[in-house]
Amino acid sequence: MQKTDFDVTVIGGGIVGLATAYKIATSHPRLGIAVLEKEPTLAGHQTGHNSGVIHSGLYYKPGSAKARTCTDGRKQLVAFAKQYGIPHEICGKIIVATSEKEMPNFERIFNNGIQNGIEGIAKTSPAQIKQIEPYCAGIAGIKVPCTGIIDFVAVVNKLAELIQKQNAENKIFLSRNAIGFQKENACTQILTNREAISSRFIINCAGLLCDRIARLDGVKIKMRIVPFRGDYYDLKTAAQGKVKNLIYPVPDPTFPFLGVHFTRMVAGGVECGPNAVFSFKREGYGKFDFNLRDTLDSLTYFGTLKMFMKNWRYGLGEYVRAFSKKLFVKQLQRLVPSIQGTDLTPGNSGVRAQAVGADGKPIDDFVIESHGNAIHVLNAPSPAATASLAIADHITRLAAEHFKL
């Protein structure tokens, strides 16, 4: 096999991987950096299949890594988009409570926003909700003016361009699947489907496959990635006027999902969704996609079984709604009562890499661990895309300390 030498190799060509490579390239310009992506294009999975929202940082527990990095990352992302002409818009959103039982969580979220320093948030009355979103109905709302929409794939492609401009030795390798590691003195041979790439240090940003990459590196981790698919509908052109910007429900804090919502897309159109159902394939975007290894990996893990037993009613409801447009529409009508099934057409889907602990609880915060000559990003769900540049700052500091760059 041909051997190619680098100082740092990032595994994973999504937004966290590219942001990390970019931050290291700019802070350590003499280092040779490689990015390995197993697909023929960058941002082929979570980054390219999300709804393109720049999150405010409102939802996250004050003091958590999510709260810190989302607010910082949002500001960095917007500045980056302005500097490089990335399509984006700070359009704002509204979170809407539709029943009294949602009010305790409504208040908790609002207080989170205050503690997290989210600029401009304000409670709104039913009449004010109508002023912001004329077709929306609710008993109370939270206006979040700093939320936006963006083309995350364009961000990733610009990051890749800048990484390679920073140093002629920096390379982006596509269609390179990391299948093993061989330790050789002060470096590691990363075995891929095409060649062996020699690197002093490794940063695992493999998203849906991050736990498998970590295990290939000999890391004994106490969690597993369990994939959840989210399906979207698109509003037909005639119905798009019913949504001006972004409309979200009050999320259930028991689950790491934000609930079915409406999102105006930066390229045009409005997405409705997603639901959240267990996926029988880690990179399976169709309702009937199946992979035996992925399924066994999830269902033979005791943490997954514990999670399913505890939340079976919720899971069953999500599955039924995944195959019932009528029930999906009913969920949407809680926010926009005039929405009808005839307003919707099937849209895209995405798969979320959710880390689940052995206790059956979804791991809520980001998890980034160092091991030998590697750093492993083991849990980076939403808002990781928004927070990516701030996450990358953290990884760069960790790398400088741990790798003695």
Place of tokens 């890749």: 160
Arch. (CATH architecture) of 91-146+224-357? 2-Layer Sandwich (3.30)
pTM of the prediction?
0.95
Measured distance CA(322)–CA(2) in Å, rounded: 47
Measured distance CA(198)–CA(196) in Å, rounded: 6
Mean pLDDT of 148-152: 98
Query: CATH code for 3-47+153-222+365-402?
Result: 3.50.50.60
Q: For position 1, what pLDDT does the model report?
A: 41
Cα Rg for the chain, rounded, in angstroms? 21
pLDDT digits (tens, 9 = 90+) for 341-384: 999 999 999 999 999 999 999 999 999 999 999 999 999 999 99
Q: How high is the mean pLDDT of the chain? A: 94
H helical segments located in 91-241: 103-115, 126-132, 152-166, 210-216
pLDDT digits (tens, 9 = 90+) for 130-141: 999 999 999 999
pLDDT digits (tens, 9 = 90+) for 266-279: 999 999 999 889 99
269: left (phi over 0), alpha (psi -120 to 50) or beta: left
- 206 — pLDDT class (breaks 50, 70, 90): very high
Cβ contact 187:359 at 8 Å: no
Measured distance CA(211)–CA(224) in Å, rounded: 6
Mean pLDDT of 83-98: 98
360: left (phi over 0), alpha (psi -120 to 50) or beta: left
Mean pLDDT of 67-92: 97
Higher-confidence residue of 291 and 186: namely 291
The residue count of the chain comes to 405
Write the DSSP assignment of 194-239 as a string of letters. S-EEEEEEEEE--GGGHHHHHHHTT---SEEEEEEEEEEEEE-GGG
Alpha-carbon torsion 44, 47, 50, 53, what sign? Answer: negative
Helix (H, G, I), strand (E, B) or coil at 96: strand
- Domain definitions of the chain by residue range: 3-47+153-222+365-402, 91-146+224-357
pLDDT digits (tens, 9 = 90+) for 323-346: 899 999 999 999 999 999 999 999
Cβ contact 32:170 at 8 Å: yes
